[in-house]
Amino acid sequence: MTATDPSLVPSTSAPGGLVKSVVSLDRVVIRLAGDSGDGMQLTGNRFTSETASFGNDLSTLPNFPAEIRAPTGTLPGVSSFQLHFADHDIMTPGDAPDVLVVMNPAALKANIADLPGGGLLIADSDEFSPRNLAKVGYASNPLEDGSLEGWQLVSVPLTSMTTEALKDSGLGKKEAERSKNMFTLGLLSWMYHRPTEGTIRFLERQFRRKPEIAAANIAAFRAGFNYGETTEAFAVSYEIKPAPMAPGRYRNISGNQALSLGLVAAGQRSGLPIFLGAYPITPASDILHELSKHKAFGVRTFQAEDEIAGVSAAIGASFGGALGITTTSGPGISLKSEAIGLAVMTELPLVVVDVQRGGPSTGLPTKTEQSDLLQAMFGRNGEAPLPVIAPRSPGDCFDAALEACRIALAYRTPVILLSDGYLANGAEPWAVPDVDDLPDLTEAVRFATEPNGENGEFLPYLRDPETLARPWAIPGTAGMQHRIGGLEKADGTGNISYDPANHDFMVRTRQAKVDGIAASLPPTEIDDPDGDARVAVIGWGSTYGPIGAACRRIRRSGRSVAQLHLRHLNPMPADLGDILRRYDRVVCPEMNLGQLAMLLRAKYLVDVESHTQVRGLPFRAAELAAVLQDAIDLTQGAPLGADASGGAE
């Protein structure tokens, strides 16, 4: 647990004899909402860091517009950050907030419908000016007209208290106002007993070159904390005990961070240099940013002129013996398709990271979706199979990235790693792995240095009998000169071949190579604590959290459900068909229109029931629990009494 600034320790009594009580909670969901320029993401991230270092389990959901700065105070400009933290293991950022903080009328309008009745609503009353109210169509001030009486409304003049606290800082009013997010963070830190030292250190570090700004932000942060301590507006503060976690070192990590570190790890564990070719695209750019910082680890990053150049350069680097990687989102995958086909044909290692977002076309750049699965599977001309894998939580992006690299290297194939916007920006505590425990990838790499043909020649398409991988001979190796390319090649020699039987053989062999990866996969894990489930729910990717939370609710209501979650989407685990056939019903929730369900039905002839949503947001656990409850009740003939849709995770 991080030390707390000694001046900022919540007490049960404040100056002036004000009595404050402390209430213990097991979990809280807070949503901060404001204008894009209000710094809500930063505030949310800081609160998350404080919460992580305190030892709660947590899960976050940043939600922001694609516009960098939509017109101030308008609905399109609203940015929010939701954080769920608890004294126990949780799986989602929470279906609905318990506490909503709104920095202006637009934030109130965009978010109030999500706050359940009786929830705590904190509003910056200074921003509810007639002008700001008019911008979003409020005829009267909702903070004053009684329309919010279904909630516990606390109007706080956050902006003016911030400027008052900074009146001696030497900053202008406009500049001082910008610290209101830190004032708010201070207030929340008091309310939830968060450690504050980390935020103060962060502000000092962040504004190293502008000490006056650092000082102002720290002063605003302290003022917010002290306001909570002394005001009568907040009589209660809350305590959420640390969550029991397995022993180890932990840090807070977002999906894009974890994925980046997984790629660096693959370089470290394979002994290969990493080469990233990428074009900036939301929500994948942070991987490029992160990897560009790790040059000391032999990581080269190349910001290409376009998506195609990004993947092409990665293929060139792989030909030269690097681990070539390209990162993008849906529109970029469309552009890279032909080059990915080249990597299929030339059988070179390549990792293609697709951080999925809402589609089609430009779609919803900052919102999450799982709608690129079929494109990843089939979105290339010809029979162009490749492995597809997906992480299921922010921290899991690390392991999934390593696994993608293992397969790419061992099988000499492009691999598509399907992350999504929710995983990319969401965060959770992550047990820092021991470097020595990470998979050793050196065996997967061995470059070919000796001719393998009977007559002393090098045959670039003479395959390993077990993996069907072809030898990887890199330029600079004498006697191994060879030519590869996109034209069909003769088995063994790799020379251009238009022979019908050879083409048929090569198409089937490339497919067999990918299918054969299933042999290296562990058996499918079935999560069915009671062992008597007749309904299974199957998912992939970021739906793991909401599905898992829904399963917990189902089990608490006395029902049984089996949860399966696929990391490997191609090839699928060898035992999957048999497992699916054991259940009376199989439900498949997805943030698309049923892409995995379609694959499962086609491959296994199992009557998978698809449940879909494409709102650009993760599923709510309660909604999925209701879907599962219906499926179970139908299976059992008569509905059970208990309702599984309510309650906590």
Partner 1 sequence: MSTTSSHAAEHVHDLGMPGNPISTAIASSVASQGEKQTALKAKDMKTDQEVRWCPGCGDYVILNAVQSFLPSLGIAREDMVIVSGIGCSSRFPYYMNTYGMHSIHGRAPAIATGLAASRPDLSVWVVTGDGDALSIGGNHLIHTLRRNVNLTILLFNNRIYGLTKGQYSPTSEVGKVTKSTPMGSLDHPFNPVSLALGADATFVGRAMDSDRKGLTDVLRQAAEHQGTSLVEIYQNCNIFNDGAFDLLKDPATAPQWTIPLVHGEPLVFGPDGAACVVRDEVGGLRIAETNQVEAAEIVVHDAHRQDPSYAFALSRLSTQDLRYTPMGVFRSVQKPTYDAMMAEQLDVARAQETADFDALLTGNDTWTVA
For partner 1, the binding residues in 429-488 under the rule CB under 8 A are 432-433, 435, 442, 445, 447, 449, 474-487
Say whether residue 143 binds partner 1 (CB under 8 A): no
| Binding region for partner 1 (CB under 8 A) out of 174-182, 308-316, 530-538, 576-584 | 308-316
- Residue 245 in contact with residue 384, Cβ under 8 Å? no
**Binders of partner 1 among 327-386, rule CB under 8 A?**
338-339, 341-342, 346
Q: Closest separation between CB of residue 484 and partner 1, Å?
A: 6
DSSP string, 522-555: PPPP-B-TTS--SEEEEEEGGGHHHHHHHHHHHH
Q: Provide the β-strand partners of residue 156.
A: 124
Cα–Cα dist 565/551, whole Å? 12
Site for partner 1 in 196-215 (CB under 8 A): 198
User: Is 315 an interacting residue with respect to partner 1 (CB under 8 A)?
Assistant: yes
For 56, the token pair is 């709660």
2 contacts partner 1 (rule: CB under 8 A): yes
Binding mask 180-199 for partner 1 (x = CB under 8 A): ------------------x-
**179: contact with partner 1 by CB under 8 A:** no
Can you tell me which of 324, 358, 539, 541 binds partner 1, judged by CB under 8 A? 324
Whether 86 contacts 58, CB under 8 Å:
yes
Cα–Cα dist 551/547, whole Å: 6
191 vs 315 by CB, closer to partner 1: 315
Residues 214-253 that bind partner 1 (CB under 8 A): 245-253
Interaction between residue 275 and partner 1 (CB under 8 A): yes
**Minimum CB separation from partner 1 for residue 503, in Å?**
17
Minimum CB separation of residue 45 from partner 1 in Å reads 11
Closest CB to partner 1 among 9 and 432?
A: 432
Stretch 49-68: interaction string toward partner 1, x if CB under 8 A: x--xx-x-------------
CA-CA distance, 313 to 324, in Å (whole number)?
A: 8
Instruction: Output the smallest distance, CB 25 to partner 1, in A.
Output: 21
Residue with Cβ nearer partner 1 (458 or 583): 458
Question: Could you tell me which of 195, 621, 259, 241 has the C-alpha nearest to residue 430?
Answer: 259
Give 55 or 283: the residue with its C-beta nearer to partner 1. 55
Kindly state the number of chain residues that form the binding site for partner 1, as judged by CB under 8 A.
78
Alpha carbons 536 and 560: distance in angstroms, whole number: 9
Based on the shown chain and the rule CB under 8 A, indicate whether residue 516 belongs to the binding site for partner 1: no
> Please, which of residues 12-51 interact with partner 1 by CB under 8 A?
49
In the bound state with partner 1, the residue whose beta carbon lies nearer, of 100 and 342, is 342
- Which 567-596 residues touch partner 1, going by CB under 8 A? none
Smallest distance, Å, CB 259 to partner 1? 13
- What are the angstrom distances between the C-alpha of 156 and each of 23, 109, 123, 328? 22, 17, 6, 42
Supply the minimum distance, in Å, between the C-beta of residue 16 and partner 1. Answer: 36
Whole-angstrom distance, CA of residue 56 vs CA of residue 241: 7
Q: Which of 4, 312, 327, 557 binds partner 1 (CB under 8 A)?
A: 312
Q: Residue 317 interacts with partner 1 (CB under 8 A)? A: yes
- Specify the stretch interacting with partner 1 by CB under 8 A; choose among 5-13, 151-159, 271-279, 361-369: 271-279
Query: Do residues 136 and 109 touch, judged by C-beta distance below 8 A?
Result: yes
Residue 164 interacts with partner 1 (CB under 8 A): yes or no = no
Binding segment toward partner 1, per CB under 8 A, in 183-191, 307-315, 546-554, 593-601: 307-315
Of 309, 416, 564, 625, which lies in the binding site for partner 1, with binding defined by CB under 8 A? 309
What letter represents residue 282's amino acid? T
Going by DSSP bridges, is the β-strand pair 535-540/562-566 parallel, antiparallel, or unpaired? Answer: parallel
- Of the pair 348, 632, the CB lying nearest partner 1 is at 348
Q: Select from 37, 150, 157, 273 the one that contacts partner 1 (CB under 8 A).
A: 273
3-state secondary structure 179-225: CHHHHHHHHHHHHCCCCCHHHHHHHHHHCCCCHHHHHHHHHHHHHHH
Q: Least distance (Å) from partner 1 to the CB of residue 82? A: 21
Per CB under 8 A, 305 contacts partner 1: yes
In the list 280, 316, 331, 439, the residue contacting partner 1 (rule: CB under 8 A) is 316
C-beta of 115 vs 304, nearer to partner 1: 304
Helix (H, G, I), strand (E, B) or coil at 342: helix
- State the nearest-atom distance from the C-beta of 614 to partner 1, in Å: 33
Neighbours of 648 (CB within 10 A): 17
Out of 217, 270, 368, 570, point to the residue binding partner 1 (CB under 8 A).
270
Considering only residues 28, 308, 408, 608, which one is a binding residue for partner 1 as defined by CB under 8 A?
308
Asked if 397 is part of the footprint of partner 1 (rule: CB under 8 A), the reply reads no
Non-local (6+) Cβ contacts of 7 within 8 A are 222
Q: Cβ of residue 585: shortest distance to partner 1, in angstroms?
A: 39
- Determine if 289 is a binding residue for partner 1 (CB under 8 A): no
**Cα–Cα distance between 393 and 398 in angstroms, integer?**
9
400: tokens are 């999934």
List 119, 255, 321, 414, residue binding partner 1 (CB under 8 A): 321
328 Cβ contact partners less than 8 Å away, ≥ 6 residues apart: 278, 279, 281, 284, 307, 310, 336, 352, 353, 354, 355
What are the b/e assignments for 243-277, b being 16+ CB within 10 Å?
beeeeeebebbbbbbbbbbbbbbbbbbbebbbbbb
Q: In what order do the strands lie in the sheet with 388-389?
A: 299-303, 274-278, 323-328, 350-356, 414-420, 388-389, 568-570
Cis peptide before 360 (omega within 30 of 0): yes
**What is the H or E stretch that residue 492 is in?**
none
